[in-house]
Amino acid sequence: MTDTLFLTSEEIDDLASPADYVDAVQDGYRQVGNGAPAFPRQKFYREDPAGMFTSYAALLPETGAMGGYMYGAGFGSGDGWFVTPLFDAESGEPLALLDGASMNPFKTGAAGAVAVDELARDDAATLAVIGSGPQARGQVHATATVREFSDVRVYSPTRESRTAFADEFDEALDADVAAVDSSAAAIDGADVVITATSASDPVFDGTDLDPGTHVTAMGQYQEGKRELDTTTVERATYVPDLRERATYDAGSFLAALEAGAVTEDHIHAELGEVVAGTAPGRRGDDEITVFDSGGTGIETVAAAHMLYERAKAAGAGSTISFAPASEALTGKRP
């Protein structure tokens, strides 16, 4: 038997800052850029009752951990449940089991922040946010740790939601944060654009992007649905989290492929390759860059291990016991 740490969502809440997540996730992407294995999500659907089960994983040898994310959404409950198993990369023993609900926006936001750090101009000062839900909040909290924004503009279709978002971040950030009435107004003159929506169709016109803009798109990861139009993909240096995912479930890229606007050679590099320095990041001040984020085991394992170490140091969590396979299969007890 081995004792494994169990962390509830509430116990995770105060263990780490957005900057801590960014540091851990950046190192995780560096390891994958140097050859550590990570694969796109697997998705399983049911129609009646409607629901989706998703899993993805990664192994980070320098961190010494492997694992991933598994979640079920829908299936009659109208909700989602996030489970994060973490294993020792040498022994294979389970280190921790995390309720991934509260870490989800922060680890995903950290991946977006890593991309901004690598691909946005160093002097980026104006941020546009399209979307005002928990994922948009996670993106802004994390991205604000890698650039000093003086102006932030947020648009979402519901006036009350975008106003509440603006009020929240006007207090949280040392920046002027305002709600605007259209996505065009949000991206006008923006240095960084974040899309975090549930939209099935493009949320802005790619011809409106100024030269030098960086775009992080993270709200859609399904064929037939997209936040970015073909013009944006065609104009941009395109960087997905994983190259294989771009032709698997990156709706924006797949639509551009189908339209004949780009080929698979338009994929510049994976984010990890840019972080590791095996592929160049931004190459000029006028270059438009896109990070297409669909979620991977990279940020999940990196963040989960960071939280595991912090929980151990703080004495947080409880333990559960797992039997080794040899014991379970043979029925022998030590």
Q: What pLDDT score does 333 carry?
A: 60
Q: What pLDDT score does 161 carry?
A: 97
Considering the domain architecture, whether residues 283 and 135 belong to the same structural domain is answered as yes
Considering the domain architecture, whether residues 73 and 164 belong to the same structural domain is answered as no
Does 100 map to a domain? Answer: yes
CA gap 186, 207 in Å, rounded: 14
Q: What pLDDT score does 199 carry?
A: 87
Q: What pLDDT score does 135 carry?
A: 93
Q: What is the pLDDT along the chain (334 residues), one digit of tens a residue?
A: 899 999 999 999 999 999 999 999 999 999 999 999 999 888 898 999 999 899 999 999 999 999 999 989 898 888 889 999 999 999 999 999 999 988 999 999 999 999 999 999 999 999 999 999 999 999 999 999 999 999 999 999 999 999 999 999 999 999 999 999 999 999 999 999 999 998 889 999 999 999 999 999 997 777 778 999 999 999 999 999 999 999 988 999 999 999 999 999 999 999 999 999 999 999 999 999 999 998 899 999 999 999 999 999 999 999 999 989 888 777 666 5
Does 109 map to a domain? Answer: no
Does 111 map to a domain? Answer: no
| CA 324 to chain centroid | 33
Does 81 map to a domain? Answer: yes
Does 110 map to a domain? Answer: no
CATH number at 261 reads 3.40.50.720
What 8-state DSSP symbol labels residue 113? H
> Containing domain of residue 306, as a range?
2-104+297-330
CA gap 236, 212 in Å, rounded: 10
Considering the domain architecture, whether residues 280 and 133 belong to the same structural domain is answered as yes
The answer to whether the beta carbons of residues 52 and 44 sit under 8 Å apart is yes
Considering the domain architecture, whether residues 239 and 98 belong to the same structural domain is answered as no
Considering the domain architecture, whether residues 63 and 136 belong to the same structural domain is answered as no
Considering the domain architecture, whether residues 284 and 305 belong to the same structural domain is answered as no
Count Cβ atoms within 10 A of the Cβ of residue 317 and give its class: 0-12 exposed, 13-18 middle, 19 or more buried. buried
Contacts of 79 (CB under 8 A, 6+ apart): 73
Considering the domain architecture, whether residues 162 and 191 belong to the same structural domain is answered as yes
Considering the domain architecture, whether residues 248 and 145 belong to the same structural domain is answered as yes
Considering the domain architecture, whether residues 306 and 260 belong to the same structural domain is answered as no
CA gap 106, 141 in Å, rounded: 8
Considering the domain architecture, whether residues 288 and 303 belong to the same structural domain is answered as no
Considering the domain architecture, whether residues 204 and 234 belong to the same structural domain is answered as yes
Considering the domain architecture, whether residues 286 and 305 belong to the same structural domain is answered as no
CATH number at 40 reads 3.30.1780.10
Does 113 map to a domain? Answer: no
Side-chain-side CA neighbours of residue 133 (13 Å): 11
Does 18 map to a domain? Answer: yes
Q: Which residues pair with 216 in a beta bridge?
A: 194, 291
Both tokens assigned to 78? 């109208």
Q: What pLDDT score does 332 carry?
A: 65
Q: What pLDDT score does 331 carry?
A: 65
Q: In the chain, how many domains are there? A: 2
Does 115 map to a domain? Answer: no
